[in-house]
Structure 1
Amino acid sequence: MVPPIRRLEYTSDFARRFFEVGEARGKAKSVLTVLYARGVAVPVDVRDEILYCTDQERLGVWILQALTAETIQDLDDPRREPDV
C-alpha cells in the first residue's frame, strides 16, 4: 500500500517563498504548454509576462482559459492588473 502524499510544511519564510515561486513557475509553464499544444501563437512579451507571474489565482484562471483558447486574446490580458 502506498502511503498518502502529505504536503511538506516549510519552517522558514525563505523556503516557503522559493517553494511558492516554483509552484507558480510550473503553472506558468503549463499555461504555455497548453497554448502551444492548441497551436496558439504567444508573442514573446506575453510569454515573458506569463512566465514571471507569481499570482497563483491568475495562473489557475489562465490554465483553464488556455484549454479552450483559439487565440492569445482568449486569455485575460496578462499585462492587465488583476481585479481586486
Structure 2
Amino acid sequence: MKQKTREPIMNYRIWIGFLIIFILLNPWYFPSGDPVLVYGVPLWALVIMGVTVVLSLYITYVIRYHWEVEDEEESGKEEK
C-alpha cells in the first residue's frame, strides 16, 4: 500500500523547518565590526551561501516526498 501524501501547507513540521532556515539566512547573529575572513570572503557570506544550499535541498525534499503531484491523465485513468 502506498501511503497517501498530504499537501505540505498542512504539515507544521515543514513550516518549522522553513522558519529555522530563514532565521539562519539572516546574518544578525554575527558580531558587528571587523568580519572574520576566510580566504578573503567574510564568514557571514559563506554561512549564507551554505544555508541557501540547505534551503534548496529542503525545498527539493518537501516537493519530492510531501507534495502530492499527479497528472490529470493519471487521475483520469484511476477514476474510470
- Which structure has more relative contact order (CA 8 Å, sep 6+)? It is 2
Give the helix-richer structure, 1 or 2.
2
Decide which structure has greater strand share.
2
Q: Same fold (TM over 0.5)?
A: no
TM-score, reference length from structure 1 = 0.33
Larger Rg: 2
